[in-house]
Chain A
Amino acid sequence: MITVTINGKQIKIEKAVTVLDAARIAGIKIPTLCHHDLLESFGGCRLCLVEVEKLPRLQTACTMYITDGMVVQTETERVVEARKAMLEFLLINHALDCPYCDKAGECDLQDLVMKYGPSSGRFAEGKRKHPESYDDPIIVRNMERCISCTRCVRMCDKVQGASAISMVNRTSKTFVEPFSGGRYNCEYCGNCLTVCPVGAIMSRLHKHTYRPWYIEKNVDTICSFCGVGCTVTAQVRGNSIIRVIPEIGKGVNKGLLCNRGRFGYDYINSGGRLTSPLIRKNGVLEAATWSEAIAYVAGRLQDVKDKSGGSAIAGIASARCTNEDNYVFQKFMRAAIGSNSIDSAAAFAFAPAQKYFESIFGQGVTANPISGIAKADGVFVIGGDPTSVNPVLGLQIRAAAQKKVPVITVGYTPGLRNFSTHSILPAPFAETSLLAAIVSELSRIKSPDVIKSAFGEIIRSIQPVSSEDAQNACGIPADEIRGCADALAGMTNPAIIIGRDIILRSDGHTNLLLLAALMQLINGRIYLASEQPNERGIIDMGCVPDSLPGGRPIAVDSFRKRYEEFIGSPIPSSQGLGLMEIIAAAHSGQVKALYVMGENIAFNVPDHSYVKEALEALDFLVLQDSFMTETARMADVVLPTLSWAEKEGSFTNLEGRMQHLQKVVDGQGIDDWSALAEISTLLGVEMHYKGVKDVMAEIARVSPLHKGITYEDMEGGQCMWPYKGEPLRHDLVLPGIDMPDVKSMLRKPGKDMVYIGVDKPLFHSGSLSRNSQALSSISSKPFARIGGGLAGRLSLADGDYVTISTSAGSLDMPVMLFADMPENLVLVPNNFEGAGVYKILAWKMNENIKTPAFDSIEASLKKIERITAEGSA
């Protein structure tokens, strides 16, 4: 116990903390400028000076640790004089333009000068001049206001890990600048502007429209872009969001955000919003009334059901919709339509991976707190760059790396380039051989005890693959593979982060098996990257062809009967079709009507012309969405729904945390669940929810996993899997082993042939973020990433246009060179209208996990001569 006396108040503290923290515990506020709770203490501004008995000089409270018997005074005359002097120094250069500065009213410097003075400065040298910088699309810099506290630089270096900015020059000429001196060209997370205590780095989105006292309400809600589920505070005036900010310490993100979460909120005000229901009449979508549209949809669905049966109707839901929407969606499909053919884009990777791991290790095996990554003593990353798919999760990996633990990345992960200790870049699509060799090495190194389980038997029966054979197959030197296995063997609580690229291929199931073996061998915790905010929730809600809410298999009679009793109507007992099967069945005419909720399938399902044919072959396509999308243009009926920020509900993030999505502003359209309820009622299965709380209450009654959950339980972010419910008792389902012949794996593409992959840009999220002006202003056009080797072979330079073709079609776009990309690989994003890589991805089905496989696509790249970046010939 350490006893300290601060301003005469005696307190006892367990461990040595700083005087600043001790004062906080005692309820005494010491002013600070360079200190920030997200950053380590710095001791630069000297505003926190205090008097410590027996020490002749004033001490900085933020860096001085308490000792037993210490006596501290925080507001003596001497201290106040010193603070006044410090502030006078800061004001030598600081432009006193508060009336014009957006920060006024929440500026630390302004507040401190008001409290401690001085009322005027004595320095007559004149202030330095810096024009306000608008070099960046969403950030505005005013370096006349910078007080050199270095908070932004420490944030960018130590927490964001982007190291994009730095303090340049010295003494009174110091200010903050990126390397270019102009544009930041950084990750645009905006975390530097969270920590800037003054108006030196600010958001351009609310320039001159924001004043703290304009804000009428602050609403805590959940970011709508990815499966991390960061907590954001939306600040509202009238019916518009003025800005979105994080709150220090709150949510999984604890005050950090990525560019999408902070700046992307403006998509809800996009001009592409749908305002009225539309019905296709004589080939043209025409505005209709709600009652007309609802009755029309019910009538057409009834027709199909009567003629071809419920199984001829399929449903595609969306992990961008809430649990409540998705719960009602599956209930509607099962009870009112009579079909189990329900799926979503989670079926590409998240759902099959989770299902695979749960079948071996039990339900909830992938529900691991994100905060555990930074605490892990090793990280293994495969299948994509987590720093662009789930940026705030990516920061956890960078934090682990800062602690110098081994970070192994397999595949192209540019966001971890400066953080990985083992950066392994196998030949495209040859990771299986690498994983097999790592598992073989580990089985040899690890004591047999760690694989004593039934699954251990499976691991033991995996045909060993030597690192030498793997080297031939994937091009990674055998020593490097062994080094990587050794590093893995030394870990005791590692995190394994798995992205979709390792799953979407013909050997995706083998990769999952090997990753499960890896997990068992090194006692790892699995994290599944999740591109949409509610991928975990959509599975829990039963929007999958084979299980009911709570993850109960539909094939088990007792579960099905119990559910039928609850909802009071029968549901089909046979397993339905999955996402890719639905598209194929629509193509073949077996599925005649499709109900889509919130997913742009015409764009987000691979092989656009095939998907288009499938949708055209349908008798009836109905879409609920907030935007006029590629899919909406093909639909027979479009029902406009509320968007994020306009609705209440819940999301379940990738770690299994249920979080409360709050309504922030009013919107046009209705809730997804309520449109479904109305149609269901017309089809004879009555649904009368008075509000979203009723839906949640039903989920809490029906799903054994979500027993008794209310929105109140979700406040504070502690509503974690398995909630208060009963996890499914788990029957081990042992996977079959289907090891490909590793030696035959190295595929040498022919001359001019390249492998094609999906690029996941940091600044975009599916086809949703293109509606955000802010995000589009950072990145407005697609480009293909290629490596140096390919560029050399085709004499390509940055900005040159190429035609990328496959058997399914072709795309023209400029290339950008990235020296560290694998040979023979081109990465193309699927975000921009008219230029999505899915257009040309002609997939084959991996029947084992029912995902499309992208590994057998032969692509070629041709330089387009004479076309300049402006597109003129």
Chain B
Amino acid sequence: MLSDKALNEIHLIKSKYQDSRSCLLPSLYVVQKENGWISPAAMETVGELLSVPDATVKGVATFYSMFRREAMGRHLIQLCTNVACMIMGAERLVDILRDKYGLQPNGTSADGRFSLVIMECIGACDAAPAMLVDADLHGNINENTIMATLDKYA
């Protein structure tokens, strides 16, 4: 379920903290990087690895909205539609994603390439409208550039 690489990463994290609960967030992040989301089975694995009760893992994994709890496409687009980005035309970008990729907010494209999540301010208002693709921030995007940006993500 988790690759040896991911397991090793979690073991490394364990060696850095005294309290196993402190390892929870970084370990969940490893899982998400590997699988794109955090499945119940992955929560159990992490609980087992860290000796943290499953229910506690679930509590943490559901608290942070950047942890995904549904299967995601290969790449995750987190598009901001909060005030600054909205004024700068983010709503039109949502339409484009729907038209060009069949992407609905909280949905995944049919080819499994992209998932879209609408965000509330990702702290990049100075470059509005802005989106995150996986861990990369893209600011000052518009109708003309967004497709080219996304083309880089296979």
Contacts and interface: CB of A to CB of B under 8 A. Distances in A.
Contacts of B65: 170
Interface residues of A, number: 14
Contact of A163 (B40, B44, B55): B55
B54 interface: yes
B51 A166 contact: no
A153 B56 CA distance: 10
B58 A163 contact: no
A178 interface: yes
A234 to B, nearest CB: 32
A164 B62 contact: no
A165 interface: yes
A133 B97 CA distance: 39
A297 to B, nearest CB: 55
A337 B126 CA distance: 98
Contacts of A178: 55
A230 to B, nearest CB: 25
B58 A168 contact: yes
Interface string A162-180: 0111111110000001110
Contacts of A169: 62-63
A167 B51 contact: no
A812 B88 CA distance: 72
Nearest to B59: A166
A163 B62 contact: no
B53 interface: yes
A514 B69 CA distance: 53
A479 interface: no
Contact of B53 (A163, A168, A177): A163
Interface string B32-44: 0000000010011
A168 B56 contact: no
A167 B59 contact: yes
A398 to B, nearest CB: 13
Interface string A492-515: 000000000000000000000000
A819 to B, nearest CB: 10
A418 interface: yes
B62 A168 contact: yes
Contacts of A153: 59
B58 A164 contact: no
A81 interface: no
A157 B60 CA distance: 14
B63 A157 contact: no
Q: Is the interface of A mostly helix, strand, loop or mixed?
A: mixed
B29 to A, nearest CB: 17
Contacts of A179: 40, 43-44, 53-55, 57-58
Contacts of B59: 153, 166-168
A177 B63 contact: no
A418 B55 contact: no
Nearest to B51: A418
B49 to A, nearest CB: 14
B127 to A, nearest CB: 27
Contacts of B55: 163-166, 177-179
Contacts of B64: 170
A720 to B, nearest CB: 37
Interface in A169-205: 169-170, 177-179
B43 to A, nearest CB: 8
Contact of A166 (B40, B44, B58): B58
Q: Which of B44, B57, B62 has the most CB of A within 10 A?
A: B62
A141 to B, nearest CB: 14
A178 B57 CA distance: 11
A154 to B, nearest CB: 12
A178 B55 CA distance: 6
A168 B64 CA distance: 10
A42 to B, nearest CB: 15
Contacts of B56: 157, 163, 166
A47 B49 CA distance: 39
A859 to B, nearest CB: 31
Chain A CB within 10 A, most for which of B44, B51, B54, B55: B55
B53 A164 contact: yes
A177 B51 contact: no
B44 to A, nearest CB: 8
Contacts of A165: 55
A420 to B, nearest CB: 12
Interface string B62-100: 111100000000000000000000000000000000000
A514 to B, nearest CB: 31
B20 to A, nearest CB: 10
A416 to B, nearest CB: 13
B120 to A, nearest CB: 12
B51 A170 contact: no
Interface in A142-174: 153, 157, 163-170
Contacts of B51: 418
Interface in A540-562: none
A164 B59 CA distance: 11
Contacts of B57: 179
B103 to A, nearest CB: 24
Nearest to B62: A168
B53 A170 contact: no
Contacts of B40: 179
B119 to A, nearest CB: 15
Specify which of A153, A177, A178, A179 lies most central, judged by the most chain B CB atoms within 10 Å of its CB.
Answer: A179
Contacts of B53: 157, 163-164, 166, 179, 418
Nearest to A418: B51
A667 B9 CA distance: 64
A178 B43 CA distance: 13
A760 B43 CA distance: 30
A681 B135 CA distance: 89
12 contacts: A153-B59, A163-B53, A166-B53, A166-B56, A167-B59, A167-B63, A169-B63, A177-B55, A179-B43, A179-B54, A179-B57, A179-B58
Q: Which 7 A-B pairs give the minimum distances between C-beta atoms?
A: A166-B59, A163-B53, A179-B54, A166-B55, A168-B62, A179-B55, A170-B63
Given A166-B53, A166-B58, A169-B62, 9 more contacts: A153-B59, A163-B53, A168-B59, A170-B65, A177-B55, A177-B58, A179-B40, A179-B55, A179-B57
